[in-house]
Each structure stands twice: as structure tokens, then as C-alpha cells.
Amino acid sequence: MLTKQQILDWLQSVAVVLEQNKNYLTELDAAIGDADHGINMNRGFQKVITQLPGVADKDIGTILKTVSMTLISSVGGASGPLYGTLFLRASTAAAGKQELNNQDTIAFLEAAVDGVVQRGKANLGDKTMLDALSPAKNAFKQAVADGASTQEALQKAVAAAEEGVKNTIPLVAKKGRASYLGDRSIGHQDPGATSSYLILKTLLETITP
Ligand code: ADP
Ligand code: MG
Ligand code: MG
């Protein structure tokens, strides 16, 4: 179970974590992109937290939709529309809900991943955020099927995302700016996969007592 308060706390903490990791994410993007991923994500989530008080008494779907709209209007680049779509689809899965049980969270994660795929047309192994998100979603789903609690399932999801991030290092980028480098993208960790991992890890930390 994820409560609305946990979702709100998560989003607040994501802003803190992305600020702390702003330079790290930007350095990753400097190697294979245009050195702005940390700047983009930090700008977006700083804006998000200014919008949260206005929707804190609404349902989780409305809160996530606000996150989506804020990211679309403030992040820019490739990641703005992609994270915007992720949160928009997640908001639809959470429409009207004050809490998310494990099945709701699976629906949330599936909608989020499907949104990124439809928007960005990336395949697994293209060295994108999908390489963290998709294994995380699968691990969460499998853990719930095996009877895990939300926290246990999220631990598995975060471990899978971390593995997915590491797995981007030897890959050739097939999407986004990094793809312009071709084989020269080999040996570098994908910034978007890294931000996706950090966002998921922050959810785990938020719900861990
Ligand atoms: P930009 O490349 O426009 O400067 P960012 O630096 O903010 O945007 O984000 C780059 C990240 O976006 C990449 O590391 C990658 O994970 C992700 N990305 C780029 N294109 C796609 C895509 N088509 N599908 C999924 N993720 C993508
Ligand atoms: Mg960039
Ligand atoms: Mg850019």
C-alpha cells in the first residue's frame, strides 16, 4: 500500500535528491549528451514542489497529473516530455485514488513504462531511462506475485533499476542525443536511467520506516 501522504512525501524528497544529484546527472550527460540532465530535472522538480500545496488535498491521480504538466512545461529537452508522459499515464492509473494497493502500483508502473515507450519509441537495451524503469516494473510485479509486501517489492524494483543502470554502461545509445555518438557512447552510464533509478530509490526510502 502507498498512501497519498507517502506519494506527496516522495515527490518532496525527489526534489531534494535531484538537487543533491544535479551535478552528478549533469556530468553523466556531459559525457554522452549536452550536460544538462541534472539541471533539467532539478529545475522541473523544484517547480513541482511549488505546485504540490495547491493539490495536496486532491486524489493521487490529480497530484500526479500536476507533476506531469509541471514537468512538461519546465524540464524541456528529451526528458521533459518523457517524464511528463510517464507521470501523465501514471496519473490515469491512479485517477480518483487516495491510496494505491500493490495491484494499483503495478498498474501505475505499467502505465508509466508504456507511456515512455510510446512517447520515446525506445526498446530495451537502447541505453535510455527505459533500461532502469522496465526491469524495475517487472521486478515489482514478480515480487508482488510471489507475495511480497510493497516495501519488499520496491526493494526488488530498486535493485533491478540499479542493475539496469549499470547495464547501460557497455551499451551503444540508440535514442536521444547520445545516439549521435554511436560507438563512442560505449563505456558511459545513461543519465536518464540514472535519474529514473534515483526517483524509484527515493520512493523506497520514503516508505521505509
Ligand atoms: P536532452 O538529451 O534533450 O538534453 P536530457 O539530457 O534531460 O535531455 O535527458 C537525456 C536522457 O533522456 C537520456 O539519458 C535518456 O535516458 C533519455 N532519453 C532520450 N531519448 C529517449 C527516448 N527516445 N526514449 C527514452 N528515453 C530517452
Ligand atoms: Mg541533455
Ligand atoms: Mg538538452
DSSP 161-179: HHHHHHHHTTSPP-SSGGG
pLDDT of residue 178: 98
Beta strands in 40-197 (DSSP E): 99-100
Pocket lined around ligand 1, Cβ cut-off 6 Å = 29, 33-34, 36-37, 40, 77-79, 82, 116, 120-122, 128-130, 175-177, 190-193
Handedness of CA 189, 13, 148, 96 (dihedral sign): negative
Domains and CATH numbers, the chain: 2-207 (1.25.40.340)
Pocket test for ligand 1, best of 40, 175, 181, 190 (most atoms within 8 A of CB): 175
Of all atoms in ligand 1, which is nearest to the CA of residue 192?
A: 16
Q: Select from 129, 188, 194, 199 the residue to mutate for testing ligand 1; criterion: most ligand atoms less than 8 Å from CB.
A: 129
CA distances from 172 to 60, 70, 82, 106, 128 (A): 37, 31, 20, 30, 10
Q: What distance in Å separates the CA atoms of residue 79 and residue 191, rounded to the nearest whole number?
A: 10
pLDDT (0 to 100) of residue 67: 98
| Ligand 1 closest atom vs CA 193 | 16
Question: Could you give the CA distance from residue 122 to residue 193 in angstroms, rounded to a whole number?
Answer: 12
pLDDT value at position 144? Answer: 98
For this complex, say whether ipTM is above 0.95. yes
pLDDT per residue of the chain (209 residues) written in tens, 0 to 9: 999 999 999 999 999 999 999 999 999 999 999 999 999 999 999 999 999 999 999 999 999 999 999 999 999 999 999 999 999 999 999 999 999 999 999 999 999 999 999 999 999 999 999 999 999 999 999 999 999 999 999 999 999 999 999 999 999 999 999 999 999 999 999 999 999 999 999 999 999 98
